[in-house]
Amino acid sequence: MYLIIRCQNCGTFAYIDPFQNWKLCPVCGEIMQRGSVPEYLEVKDHHEADAVIAELERYLYLNNRTDLTRDETRTLRAAYVQRVGSGTFR
């Protein structure tokens, strides 16, 4: 399992093993401390994490946005659960 998180310094999405307490941002080198950065979604493997991050970046870019609202984050989580249950993500 991996958590999709976001650097508070540069806004880069990344993923972290839920047992890690911190991770260096791959873009700016900022220490992303678990519990101090936004956690968007928990996915089952790094391939899914990469796919979800690409979708998030594309969505924000196409909508000229910088972040998701809380409602959008809840919708993302519900949609992911539905996709996993339907077998769309494997």
Q: Give residue limits of the domains in the chain.
A: 2-86
Tokens of 15: 């993923």
CA distances 35 to 14, 31, 58, 62, Å, are 14, 12, 25, 29
- Flag whether the pTM goes above 0.85: no
Q: Assess whether pLDDT exceeds 60 at residue 90.
A: no
Q: For 5-60, how does the pLDDT look when each residue is reduced to its tens digit (9 = 90+)? A: 999 999 999 999 988 999 999 999 999 999 899 999 999 999 999 999 999 999 99
Residues 6+ apart with CB under 8 A from 14: 4, 5, 6, 7, 23, 25, 26, 32, 53
